[in-house]
Amino acid sequence: MTNQTHDANQNWNQQSGRPGSGRREAAWGEVTDRLDDWLAIEPDGSVTAFSGKVELGTGVRTALAQIVAEELDLPLERVHMVMGDTARTPDEGYTAGSMTISGSGTALRNASAEARRAMLQMASERLDAALHELLIRDGIVQVRNHPERSISYAELMGGKTFDLKVTDQAPRKPPKDYRIVGTSTAREDLPGKIAGQPSFIHDLKIPGMLHGRLVRPPGPAARLVSIDKNSVKDIPGLVDVIQRGNFIGVVAEREEQAVLAAKQLKVQWQEAAVYPRMEDLYAYLQNQKTEDTIVADEGNFDKAIVRADRKLHATYYQPYHAHASIGPSCAVADVKGDQVTVWASTPGPYPLGGALAQMLGLPADHVHLIYVEGSGSYGQNGADDVAADAIILSQAVGKPVRVQWTREEEFAWEPKAPAMVMEVNAGLDAQGNVMAWDYHVWSPSHVARARFAGQLVTVQLLSGQPAPQSRFSFGAERNSRTNYSFPAQRVTVHYLGNSPLRASSFRSLGGAENTFANESFMDELAAAAGVDALEYRLRYLSEARERAVLKAAAEKAGWESHPSPRKSKAAVAEGRGVAFARYENDQAIVACVAQVQVDPARGIVRANRIVVAHDCGLIINPDGVKNQIEGNVIQSLSRTLKEEVQFDEKHITSVDWEKYPILTFSEVPEVEIVLINRPDQPAVGAGEPSTVTTAAALANAIFDATGARLRQIPFTPERVKAALGEWEDPK
Amino acid sequence: MSDEIILIVNGKPRTVQAAPDTPLLHVLRNELGLTGPHFGCGEEKCGACMVLIGDKATQSCKMPVSEVGQARITTLEGLIEEGQLHPVQRAFIEEQAAQCGYCLNGMIITTAALLWKKPHPSDAQIREALDGNLCRCGSHLRILRAVRRAEALLAESE
């Protein structure tokens, strides 16, 4: 057994790489302006494009290739993407925040334009023709009207590199000339996946690879009392039992042997309480010491509220949510002395590579991290941690080791989307107009990425040290301010230093929860004013694109104008609700209309139809955007109706699909989408925005149907029935 | 501990060495290199590991390899005949019915078994058949459309 990594303990909580200063985690990374870092013209005339972003199942591999092929006038099949390899690709931080198209896409577009300009210049000399006489077709530069005077990219480059800087000054193709960008190109990864070819990290096989499994403590504060290695000595194929601190793993020749050894190993733990009682969670969140930031203060709330005719107040609650990836996290590591190769499905190859090197006390360039696709993660699941697990086991046995978490480990140990409390106060004048709006949100940081070793569960178990307090908190402010033009709007974020349950990024960060609160409360105000919910929103929305999106959703849905709730006497009540948001206040614009049925006797809510209108500027791949919207709607509906991480004071208890159910086929609504393409506007991300509006649209539809207001996610039958009991018809 | 076991996989007899209680999934993936079926939960609750046993979609993550006997096992790879994708596989590509694609194996296997038994199922029958297959990306609507397209492709090919 080796202890060589312990020397690095004192450094584990220092950040590797640059300090995170950016508003968005996706912006972290080292920008390169070397053209050769982004593109290579291969001798066969194909192009290899390098992106530091990774394919998380959203189709960006295909979309980025479309951008490169378009700008270089190449057939799409001759562009090959290399993504997320610390030996080959640029450092583009994390694949997160719906930033791949705007970040890597823009960089690759500029690099391709630079390459095109350089090759046109070379061709002009080689073909003895002026630049304006040249045209490019399928990677061949030719003199206009003289097809015999032509030369290919491959001949121009002759296997050499560009040795140029990307200046961002090279002329880029105008969107009106696009032939590949803007088309619904088929995903290039699907044929392999559909045929069962090795496609995922779980499928990776390295010569001589052994199989590892972990033996976890019952909870994060449990301490090892004793371990009986003899309890597994009769298991055939067992290579080693590794115990360091509270970290325990087994390595065997075959996977089933490792599974058996992990199950059979006798270990005694001293358990300890670490979580608040679940029923006290929200009081706990609001009673901690917080760091408060006023993120918006427009008009004068204190003066405006005094003049209000009526004051309204509501509090909304968001529980912890699991990423609930279908495949548990998996990684393969090969530690050879001080050189480490690790294959992982992390969304942040460079930052994780740095953190792993820090764990081992090695310079960052001794860890070569190669991204391999995993099961969809939607933020930070266990993918980073399992890479560290595999390294520790490989280091111990001196052979490549594959580690796969169990279903239970994934639910228990992956970081969760944080629980939050949102409070809104508003004042209305006698006509029901909003005079003042005051918003408060209590939340842990939504981002605790493994940018330094101390954030990894592996390191916490090795060292016995809990995760360090967040150095910076962010994510909870996302969409906390509305885009409505109220006379006064004030927004305060109350950050907790630590999250009771381990928490990190989940699709949209706080955007979904804040929009749930804002857009539910907007509906409460409309109802108080006796005004139709759509009309009420339009009063406060002035920006033309935003109004167009809201109206497009309403039109597609066949919005019936009436103040909510409708007075339905039917046994099964029907209603419709709307919600609107501009993601991060200046990115994609989304409006959602939900149509629901509520069975009041059983408290069951059924979403029948969800309509989304969506403007993300220039659309690169319309079907890809639709795919993301469908996925966002279904996943957020699942989160809204069903999901809540369960825990007692010592453990997370919702560790299987029965205790953490997600939406099934029988519960999935129809989803109709209106895409608004704006070729004159920058392409902004579509991976997250439409996840934020579902919960409020649903809550508002339930209110419209029944008069019951749901303010706590998930909308379980018990909560629906309780809310129905609270409501009394004012007539 | 390790036994020699003969399995009929994708139309061919295959001899493997495995302890009798080894889950079939591990044998298919690790001994036979068939990466179509995936590990999801190990508790037969999510469908990622499905294979056809005879004509029945079956979860392979818990089933002991010794219990399969001489039943015919067909994996995702085995649906391909003479290099041609099965109509259900083609339908899933044509509908772009995936995001991450991890659950695809179970979706395709379940659909193949369903359409085998019921060539023209109702919407409710399709949803019910797929209810044991979990998808987290929210590709459900595309998958439902792919089932309908597969139904049409299979009808054409008859």
Mean pLDDT within A78-94:
94
At residue A730, does pLDDT exceed 50?
no
Contacts of A272 (CB under 8 A, 6+ apart): A219, A221, A222, A223, A650
**How far is the alpha carbon of B158 from chain A, nearest alpha carbon, in Å?**
22
**Cβ of A672 under 8 Å from any chain B Cβ?**
no
Question: Of B75, B93, B108, which has the smallest distance from its Cβ to A191's Cβ?
Answer: B93
Q: Which among A190, A202, A671 has CB closest to B39?
A: A202
pLDDT single digits (tens) A179-216: 999 999 999 999 999 999 999 999 999 999 999 999 99
Identify whether the C-beta of residue A441 lies closer than 8 Å to the C-beta of residue A476: yes
pLDDT at site A572: 87
Nearest by CB: A627 against B26, B40, B99? B99
pLDDT digits 0-9 by tens, A486-516? 999 999 999 998 899 999 999 999 999 999 9
Q: How much is the mean pLDDT over chain A?
A: 93
User: Which residues between 488 and 547 in chain A have a beta carbon less than 8 angstroms from any beta carbon of chain B?
Assistant: none
Reported ipTM: the value is 0.98
Q: Which of A10-14, A266-270, A554-558 has the lowest mean pLDDT?
A: A10-14
Q: Which of A465, A455, A459, A462 is nearest to A502 (CA)?
A: A455
Residue B92 contacts A where some CB pair is shorter than 8 Å = yes
pLDDT at A168: 85
Q: Output the CA–CA distances (angstroms, integers) from residue A102 to A80, A96, A678, A679, in the order listed.
A: 19, 11, 15, 14
Answer yes or no: is pLDDT of A18 > 70.
Answer: no
Tens digits of per-residue pLDDT, A242-257?
A: 999 999 999 999 999 9
pLDDT class for A7, splitting at 50, 70, 90? very low
Residue A11: is its pLDDT beyond 80? Answer: no
Instruction: Determine whether the interchain pair B131/A56 forms a contact, defined as Cβ–Cβ distance below 8 Å.
Output: no
The helix (run of H) or strand (run of E) holding residue A301 is helix A301-306
Q: Does B141 touch chain A (CB under 8 A)?
A: yes
A195, A627, A633 member nearest B142 (Cβ): A627
Among B36, B42, B96, whose Cβ lies nearest the Cβ of A186? B96
pLDDT at B157: 83
Residue A565, preceding bond cis, omega within 30 degrees? yes
- Residue A2 predicted with pLDDT over 60: no
pLDDT given at position A379: 94
Residue A446 has pLDDT above 70, yes or no: yes
- pLDDT, residue B27, reads 98
Q: In this complex, do A633 and B42 lie within 8 Å of one another by their Cβ atoms?
A: no
Q: Taking residues A366-382, what's their average pLDDT?
A: 97
Asked if B87 is an interface residue toward chain A (Cβ–Cβ < 8 A), one would say: no
Q: How far is B105 from chain A (nearest CA, A)?
A: 7
Q: Is the pLDDT of residue A17 over 50?
A: no
Q: Is the pLDDT of residue A592 over 70?
A: yes
Q: What is the pLDDT of residue A514?
A: 98
Check pLDDT > 70 for residue A568: no
**Rounded to an integer, what is the distance from CA A53 to the centroid of its chain?**
13
Lowest mean pLDDT among A53-67, A333-347, A421-435: A53-67
**What part of A 640-659 touches B (C-beta under 8 Å)?**
656-658
Nearest to B45 among A255, A632, A657 (CB): A657
Whether the per-residue pLDDT at A569 is higher than 70: the answer is no
- A202 close contact with B: CB closer than 8 A: yes
Res A470: pLDDT: 67
pLDDT at A429: 97
* Residue A25, pLDDT score: 53
Distance from CA of B130 to the nearest CA of A (A): 6
| Interface residue of B49, B75, B136 to substitute, partner A, most A CBs within 10 Å | B136
Q: Which residue has the higher pLDDT, A24 or A633?
A: A633
Q: What is the pLDDT of residue A28?
A: 60
For chain B, positions 34-73, list CB contacts with chain A under 8 A. Answer: 34-43, 45-46, 48
Q: Is the pLDDT of residue A299 over 90?
A: yes
Which three-class secondary structure state does DSSP give residue A303?
Answer: helix
Position with higher pLDDT, A293 vs A15: A293
Extract the residue ranges of chain B whose pLDDT is less than 50.
none
Tell me what the mean pLDDT of segment A270-295 comes to. 95
Share of chain B above pLDDT 90, in %: 97
pLDDT score at A607: 97
**Which residue of chain A comes nearest to B91, CA vs CA?**
A194
Per-residue exposure over A282-311, b if at least 16 CB sit within 10 Å of its own CB, e if not? bebbeeeebeeeeebeebebeebbeebeee
Residues 247-266 of A with CB under 8 A from B: 254-256
Is residue A538 predicted with pLDDT exceeding 50? yes
What value does the mean pLDDT take over residues A52-56?
A: 92
The Cα–Cα gap between A469 and A289 comes to 13
**Cβ-based contacts of A607 with chain B (< 8 Å):** none
Beta carbons of B133 and A378 less than 8 Å apart? no
Question: What is the three-state SS of A629-652?
Answer: HHHHHHHHHHHHHHCCCCECCCCE
pLDDT > 70? residue A85: yes
Q: pLDDT-based confidence at A3, cuts 50/70/90? A: very low
CA A123 to each of CA A73, A128, A645: distance values in angstroms, whole numbers, following the listed order: 15, 8, 61
Is this structure's pTM higher than 0.90? yes
Cα-Cα-Cα-Cα dihedral sign, residues B13, B16, B20, B24: negative
Closest Cα partner for A416 from A468, A377, A472, A464? A377
